[in-house]
Chain A
Amino acid sequence: MITLLIDGKQVEVKEGTTILEAARQAEIYIPTLCDDPRLEPYGACRLCLVQVKGMPRLVTACTTPVAEGMEVQTSNEQIERIRKTIVELLLSDHPNDCMVCEKAGDCTLQELAYFYNLRENRFLGERRQYAQRDNNPFIERDMEKCVLCGKCVRVCEEVQAVAAIDIAYRGFNAKVTPPFEKDLNCEFCGQCISVCPTGALIGKLSIGRGRQKDIQKVDTICPYCGCGCNITLHVSRNEIIRVSSSPDNINEGWLCVKGRFGFKFVNSPDRLKKPLIKKNGKFEEVSWDEALDYVASKFREIKDRYGPDAIGGLSSARCTNEENYLFQKFIRATIGTNNVDHCARY
């Protein structure tokens, strides 16, 4: 273990921890846009600059490992001035259309602007403008809002091992893009959306479907496969508009395309909401009692005549975990057969 002082507070952390991580453990806040503890340190946004006693320059807390006896100052006049300049520079090259931005209310850049009370901007000038839109089905990419934190690029390469995007061009024109500025054509896991600190990457399914403040969050388990990822349903006006996952859960917040985007069926107009029985070659709506009685009698008939193994059950990942549990219980205990399966296996 290593002991260091952060803002006068004694902190003990494991060797190899960064200053930023140590500060978090000690509940000392250091602003950042480009850090994600799950990704390799990057040091690009420069907001986490801190003063370490004995070092000639300010250093980024996210890239600097702790050392025994280190004395860190996370804030002083110069540091705050630089941080404010950085946020102001970012805003000088940002559409500042928070009133219509999907990310409003959940945006790190917006929070920082609020924190530094940036109403005026000393650095207004040319702004990047990109007319071209990406026509992929899932991810709205508004690169005018991109702060080049590189999280999407890193998650795509480091976590997803896909590397569908990278930074192209130089300097002020640097831009995250798929190869040759083509439309994104990847596996659409949407991890990039989950790490984006601004409105640059937004799920297309949620656009225009509710402000952050009106959202009710429901924690559940992703039903699609046996991994059992923790997910959070974002519900607006009784409809799921988005799925997220918290970084501190079993799957570290990472999801796949199905878990993140495969929720449209819930509110699909094609979905059966009432039981149907085919009478005279046509489906007719019936009551639950009638339907269940009918099914029960048919099952009994089959079981009596051919034995329980003549029956098998298949259930769906689009049911909840609890429903799937009950289903296999029913097949095994009530019907009496092990002929039961599920698209994500039991």
Chain B
Amino acid sequence: MQKEVVIKICMGTGGIAAGGKEVMQAFIEELKQQGIDATVEKHCSVHQVGCRGFCARDVLVDVIMNGEKTTYQFIKPDMVPRIVEEHIVGGVVVDEWAVKEDYHAFHEKQVKVVLADCGEIDPESIDSYIERGGYEALKRVLSEMSPEEVIKVIKDSGLRGRGGAGFPTGLKWEFARQKNSDTKYIICNADEGDPGAFMDRSIIEGNPHSVIEGMVIGAYAIGAKTGYVYIRAEYPLAVERLKIALAQAKEKKFLGENILGKDFSFEIKIKLGAGAFVCGEETALIASIEGRRGMPRAKPPFPVEKGLWGKPTVINNVETLANVPYIIRNGASWFAQYGTEKSKGTKVFALTGKVKNTGLIEVPMGISLREIIYDIGGGIEGDRRLKAVQTGGPSGGCIPESMIDISVDYESLQKVGSIVGSGGMVVMDETDCMVNIARYFLEFTQTESCGKCVPCRIGTKRLLEILTRITDGRGRPGDIDLLLILSEDIKAGSLCGLGQTAPNPVLSTIKYFRDEYEAHIHDKRCPAGVCKNLLTYTILEEFCKGCTMCARVCPAGAIVGEKKKPHRIVQEICIKCGACFETCKFKAIRKG
């Protein structure tokens, strides 16, 4: 009987960073050496695949023998010979390296639509995409559907923009369709600037053709002949794979003149962004493509009226577009079966922070935060207590533990002062200081403000200064009210979404964790023990054995005392590095 062996190696950015390329090379060499090619009659292939989300376990390797899949985790090149010998030649799975129950738990509650083919197909091979039904949707659209019918399907599916604002995609396309203009554009927004976010990057790295197919369908629906992918230059792998995919799609006539022999032509250009968060905002993005400084302008007019070079323009997020082929292929009602009444389908989140399983997840809208954190995320690291979840990145807010049964959808998150946003999700536990978290996000938005409008340019700077003085122990009575008023004025007064949402982390943490602010300001105390200036380390005499360990590790020479007698920390010299605290075996040092 013929044996068929397929080996799939994770080569997303995470996989490559963990050594994916070396693992792949090791497999190729080992297989050659063992002469496997011959024994399995040339039915053995080694593939690179995109990210499958569980980056914490990279390098992940699938070995598929006659259709039976085993996934290995944390694979290094020196582990390859044993896998080849025992599993591929010998037919016995190397159990100790294979993924366990928790790997499956990570995937169980996920519903993969846009990530379904990521990690399965070779992102640099169009045939690999076509084998799994790729470009079927485009074929159907061009042979059977009018632009209006395409728009209707997208509208019926309930798909809303995944870039942050959640605007109904079908409606956006309809507006653009109705504009009478000889030139229209469609732009794919792959700027993805939120700290910690890598959803769009992973989609393009793992399945670039799905985005291209979505774009071509969108172009057909609105009547565009040219499209742009605005992608940040810091994503070299995504850019590379996108370029390969564009060339392949053109060769197969899914792109270019007379696509699939029909009277419809469309080309896609790549425009590299220089890494400014604000360039993800659509009017700034347009300015950037036009060669001007990436600064937003007032809307209206909206891009569908006056966009790129003054022409009607649709801007869609990567994930939004990647959903499109699957919706056309499987139907609007298939898509709409997932989600809530107003938020349909799935959403990809970058789950990070203090959960056990960090990575990229795709969940149906309407899932609860609790399910994400405890079922998919595996709970909190070190089984500490959950404190809050920050969603929506720097534009979002913190949701306290008491609300984690909330449904994850556009409306529900907004109601509690946060947003779905582009899909950042940071889990925080009792060791996180909420004032410090707010300060962290403000530091980001403040430096990423373009500087055009006053409330954002100077207002966020002042918010950051006030937050910094609070965490430094220089907070003043009245600072909380000042933060609140300034935040409200920045929200209402700023020009674009950046300033309008930048105060959200401040407002939500004050709303739910006001006591922490008060402790910092009035008691000069950081309850989570994070803010350095508010910490004191003291030695508890009754526990100190005088072992001198602490004095030896102290880099500042701040600890004094005789051997075998209780020691003492000289507070004026202490630099609060925490080295003594970590070292003491007798729990004799108190932090607080």
Interfacial residues, chain A to chain B (CB-CB below 8 A):
41, 43-46, 49, 57-60, 63-64, 78, 81-82, 85-86, 89-90, 92-93, 122-123, 125-126, 147-148, 150, 166-167, 169-174
Interchain CB contact under 8 A, B451 and A125: no
Interchain CB contact under 8 A, B454 and A44: yes
Q: Is the C-beta of B494 less than 8 angstroms from some C-beta in chain A? A: yes
Q: Which of A92, A167, A170 contacts B462 (CB 8 A)?
A: A92
Interchain CB contact under 8 A, B451 and A174: yes
Q: Which of B298, B458, B493 contacts A93 (CB 8 A)?
A: B458
Interchain CB contact under 8 A, B451 and A85: no
Q: Is the C-beta of B156 less than 8 angstroms from some C-beta in chain A? A: no
Query: Using a CB-CB cutoff of 8 Å, which residues 441-459 of chain B contact chain A?
Result: 446-455, 457-459
For B292, give the chain A residue with the smallest CB separation.
A166
Chain A residues near B453: list those with CB within 8 A: 43-46
Docked complex Cα distance between A171 and B465 (Å): 14
Docked complex Cα distance between A170 and B451 (Å): 6
3 closest A-B pairs by beta carbon, nearest first, are A174-B451, A63-B298, A171-B449
Docked complex Cα distance between A57 and B462 (Å): 23
Chain B interface residue count: which class? 20 to 34
Q: Which of A45, A64, A85, A167 contacts B486 (CB 8 A)?
A: A85
A-B contact count (CB 8 A): 104
Chain A residues near B492: list those with CB within 8 A: 49, 57-58, 78, 82
Interfacial residues, chain B to chain A (CB-CB below 8 A):
276, 293, 295, 297-298, 300, 446-455, 457-462, 465, 482, 485-486, 489, 492-495
Interchain CB contact under 8 A, A85 and B455: yes
Docked complex Cα distance between A90 and B449 (Å): 16
Interchain CB contact under 8 A, B461 and A46: no
Determine how close the nearest CB of chain B comes to the CB of A158; give it in whole angstroms: 13
Chain B residues near A89: list those with CB within 8 A: 454-455, 458-459, 462
Interchain CB contact under 8 A, A41 and B465: no
Docked complex Cα distance between A298 and B451 (Å): 69
Determine how close the nearest CB of chain A comes to the CB of B588; give it in whole angstroms: 41
- 23 residue pairs A–B, Cβ–Cβ below 8 Å: A43-B495, A44-B453, A45-B453, A46-B454, A49-B492, A64-B298, A78-B492, A81-B485, A81-B489, A82-B489, A89-B455, A89-B458, A89-B462, A92-B458, A93-B458, A126-B465, A148-B457, A167-B451, A169-B451, A170-B451, A171-B447, A171-B449, A174-B457
Interchain CB contact under 8 A, B293 and A125: no
Interchain CB contact under 8 A, B486 and A123: yes
Interchain CB contact under 8 A, A86 and B455: yes
On whether A171 and B461 interact (CB within 8 A), knowing A60-B298, A86-B455, A148-B452, the answer reads yes
For A173, give the chain B residue with the smallest CB separation.
B451
Chain B residues near A60: list those with CB within 8 A: 298, 495
Docked complex Cα distance between A257 and B300 (Å): 37
Chain B residues near A173: list those with CB within 8 A: 451
Docked complex Cα distance between A191 and B486 (Å): 35
Chain A residues near B293: list those with CB within 8 A: 166-167
Docked complex Cα distance between A182 and B492 (Å): 37
On whether A171 and B454 interact (CB within 8 A), knowing A49-B493, A126-B465, the answer reads no
Interchain CB contact under 8 A, A170 and B465: no
Interchain CB contact under 8 A, A86 and B493: yes
Q: Which of B457, B462, B495 contacts A171 (CB 8 A)?
A: B457
For B465, give the chain A residue with the smallest CB separation.
A125
Docked complex Cα distance between A90 and B493 (Å): 14
On whether A172 and B493 interact (CB within 8 A), knowing A43-B453, A86-B454, A89-B455, the answer reads no
Docked complex Cα distance between A166 and B457 (Å): 17
Interchain CB contact under 8 A, B452 and A172: no
Docked complex Cα distance between A60 and B296 (Å): 14
Determine how close the nearest CB of chain A comes to the CB of B441; give it in whole angstroms: 14
Most chain A CB neighbours (cut-off 10 Å) among B276, B455, B462: B462
Interchain CB contact under 8 A, A45 and B454: yes
Chain A residues near B459: list those with CB within 8 A: 85, 89
Chain A residues near B458: list those with CB within 8 A: 89-90, 92-93, 123, 172
Docked complex Cα distance between A44 and B451 (Å): 9
Interchain CB contact under 8 A, A46 and B457: no
On whether A171 and B448 interact (CB within 8 A), knowing A43-B298, A49-B493, A78-B492, the answer reads yes
Chain B residues near A45: list those with CB within 8 A: 453-454
Docked complex Cα distance between A44 and B449 (Å): 13
For B446, give the chain A residue with the smallest CB separation.
A171
Interchain CB contact under 8 A, B297 and A172: no
Most chain B CB neighbours (cut-off 10 Å) among A147, A169, A174: A174
Most chain A CB neighbours (cut-off 10 Å) among B449, B458, B482: B458
Interchain CB contact under 8 A, B449 and A172: yes
On whether A172 and B465 interact (CB within 8 A), knowing A43-B297, A150-B452, the answer reads no
For B456, give the chain A residue with the smallest CB separation.
A171
Chain A residues near B489: list those with CB within 8 A: 81-82, 85-86
Chain B residues near A92: list those with CB within 8 A: 458, 462
Chain A residues near B449: list those with CB within 8 A: 170-172
Interchain CB contact under 8 A, A46 and B494: yes
Docked complex Cα distance between A167 and B287 (Å): 14
Docked complex Cα distance between A89 and B538 (Å): 42
Interchain CB contact under 8 A, B457 and A123: no
Known: A46-B455, A64-B298, A82-B493. 6 other contacts (CB 8 A): A43-B495, A86-B455, A89-B458, A92-B462, A123-B458, A171-B446
Docked complex Cα distance between A283 and B486 (Å): 73
Chain B residues near A41: list those with CB within 8 A: 298
Most chain B CB neighbours (cut-off 10 Å) among A44, A126, A166, A173: A44
Chain A residues near B452: list those with CB within 8 A: 44, 148, 150, 167, 174
Docked complex Cα distance between A82 and B450 (Å): 20
Docked complex Cα distance between A262 and B516 (Å): 64
Chain B residues near A44: list those with CB within 8 A: 452-454, 495
